[in-house]
């Protein structure tokens, strides 16, 4: 059975890493936020230490809309994993609802997963070399400011909540798949 997994968490919480493990376990297509953002950032000359303008973010949102439309054309058996960081702003709930509605339209279960991690561990992870692989945030001070001023959207009641400082990616993926009933 197909699923739509939505992995949400702050920068450095392991969204892509857990997503890769979940993809390997379930065969779901991983559509991480850098897959949609980075082509726009690269084309616009944005780097991981650049402030992104509203116009550039709007282009990223256009790419995300196209990806969501493409998901509607996928075979029903194809599961998807979408990753994102959502700030504590009320308007961010629209992102959750868009994907929830997409799952309903496709007739597949929606599985929201909130990845949590203490700030000191997130700061440590900012310096890991694998963060260079994509245009990921790498400055612990910028992360600290982001967490202080923008925060994280609280988990919806139906979300699976995982502390990625206490559980490895493979175990997190297994828990998510088991909870979703995606393993037989």
Question: Which of 146, 128, 153 is closest to 138 using CA atoms?
Answer: 128
Complete DSSP assignment for 166-181: TS-HHHHHHHHHHHHT
Q: Which residue has the tokens 């779901």?
A: 28
Domain boundaries, the chain: 4-180
Instruction: Please tell me the chain's helix, strand, coil percentages from 3-state DSSP, rounded to the nearest 5.
Output: 50, 15, 35
Mean pLDDT by 10 residues, the chain (184 residues): 94 97 97 93 86 93 96 95 97 97 96 98 95 89 95 97 98 96 68
Query: Which pLDDT belongs to residue 77?
Result: 93
Place of tokens 């997130």: 122
Tell which phi-psi region holds residue 139, choosing left (phi > 0), alpha (psi between -120 and 50) or beta: beta
**What per-residue confidence (pLDDT) applies to 183?**
64
DSSP state letter for 167? S
Q: Which tokens hold the place of 28? A: 């779901």
CATH of 4-180, one of 3.40.50.150, 1.20.1730.10, 3.40.50.300, 3.10.450.50: 3.40.50.300
In the prediction, which pLDDT does 49 show?
Answer: 73
Q: Structure pTM?
A: 0.95
Considering only CA atoms, which of 85, 65, 63 is closest in space to residue 15? 85
């Amino acid at each position: 059975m197909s699923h739509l997994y939505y992995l949400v968490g702050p920068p450095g919480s392991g969204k892509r890493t857990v997503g890769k493990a979940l993809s390997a376990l379930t065969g779901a297509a991983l559509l991480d936020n850098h897959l949609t953002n980075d082509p726009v950032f690269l084309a616009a000359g944005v780097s991981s230490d650049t402030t992104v303008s509203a116009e550039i973010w709007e282009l990223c949102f256009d790419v995300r809309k196209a990806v969501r439309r493409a998901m509607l054309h996928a075979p029903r058996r194809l599961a998807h994993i979408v990753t994102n960081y959502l700030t504590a702003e009320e308007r961010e709930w629209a992102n959750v609802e868009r994907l929830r509605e997409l799952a309903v339209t496709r007739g597949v279960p929606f599985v929201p997963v909130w990845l949590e991690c203490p700030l000191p561990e997130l700061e440590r992870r900012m310096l890991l070399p694998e963060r260079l692989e994509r245009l990921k945030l790498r400055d612990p001070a910028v992360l600290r400011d982001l967490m202080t001023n923008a925060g994280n959207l609280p988990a919806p009641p139906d979300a699976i909540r995982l502390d990625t400082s206490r559980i490895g990616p493979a175990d997190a993926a297994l828990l998510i798949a088991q909870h979703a009933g995606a393993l037989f």
